[in-house]
A and B are shown apart, each in its own frame.
Chain A
């Protein structure tokens, strides 16, 4: 059994198309999940009636069920009540809901570090709750929550490979599809492992740069 580099080169364009879809789905879901996280964490920290327990239940449910089952429920189950989404949007919805739950917890943890004294001081200075939130609490909380948030984003990128199970032609799907046709197993796995590792390492590197920059005011 030899390593057929020429074969891999020939499959390059197909793999790149898969990679491109992986990146599209992941980036879109990362942005949306951070939004979900921000709204959810705000609802929880401000103890909005109804919303607070609802967000809590949502987070508990997502964290204690397999993402694969969530995905099948969204893609195969929801049409049963008249909600039919395309492959792509089912994937985005699933990844957003999944990562969103973790982002709520990450951001809530960050907001919890913003002391009560700061809030009282802000109110005493006449800041509205909203201005306190985005001028005082959020900038502090995001710095604390950032490492965990980026970790979740990286997990989301890796979990986008789950979408191959419903047939979205992302990177893993392309590789498995080719393996079942050409049996070039080693080549394909080597390729996608290297690609995923590179993606994760690049994201981790960007994450550490971002952390470094955001911490600038606190460095001595």
Chain B
């Protein structure tokens, strides 16, 4: 295969490819928004005193982490119409990814909050701060240090997972690659799959490894300024890695 012909193919489809990248970006950002809000709420709920709330979060986390992500997306895509919800493929994927992402994000937020030394909480409570004030001004900001790096890691997984949108017909980046391959095979009689899927992989790699690098930088940066060491007995546990799709 002539490599120049392949390059030509990519150049010819550039507007189409950019459109796909835009869709991937839109899908990622929408999902990120939902995941952030849901993870925050669920993660905080998991550290509150109410047992029933904690059990509920546990079930949510286990359920959406243990069911394969693909099944999750198909489930939303096929079952939502039966429940009277007319979701477009875009929103079906967003909901499916958000359910999965929030299960992982909740664990990150929960362990981040739990990693804040216990005496911080106790001192704040002793000073008469209300629960929301403790979370908002004392433990929350300190927990962010532990939460942000793994959350960036989760974001790269989310961007990768948006490629699953192709399976239910969202015209995002991976789908665009698929269409270019099919179209070229049908119309020109040659199969550019090696080149096109190779280019798709490289593009995702550039985006996601850039973000991963940023996450590692953030981890080093935030790790440098430590909060006061916890007194003996207050043990902080490290944040768990998000469970893969």
Contacts and interface: CB of A to CB of B under 8 A. Distances in A.
A-B complex is real? yes
Interface string B169-203: 00000100110010000000001111111101100
A185 B79 contact: yes
A82 to B, nearest CB: 10
Task: Please classify the interface of chain A as helix (H, G, I), strand (E, B), loop, or mixed, using the class held by over half of its residues.
Answer: helix
B163 A69 contact: yes
A158 to B, nearest CB: 4
A73 B66 contact: no
Contacts, number: 124
B166 to A, nearest CB: 7
Task: Please classify the interface of chain B as helix (H, G, I), strand (E, B), loop, or mixed, using the class held by over half of its residues.
Answer: helix
A96 interface: no
A158 B78 contact: no
Interface residues of B, number: 43
A201 B205 contact: no
A159 B78 contact: no
A196 B82 contact: no
Among A68, A70, A159, A185, the most chain B Cβ lie within 10 Å of the Cβ of: A68
A205 interface: no
Among B63, B82, B200, the most chain A Cβ lie within 10 Å of the Cβ of: B200
Interface of A: 1, 60-61, 63-70, 72-73, 76-81, 102, 148, 151-152, 155, 158-159, 161-162, 164-165, 172, 176, 179, 185-186, 189, 192-193, 196-197, 200-201
Interface of B: 1, 63, 66-71, 74-75, 78-79, 82, 156, 160-161, 163-164, 166-167, 174, 177-178, 181, 191-198, 200-201, 204-205, 208-209, 212, 241, 243-245
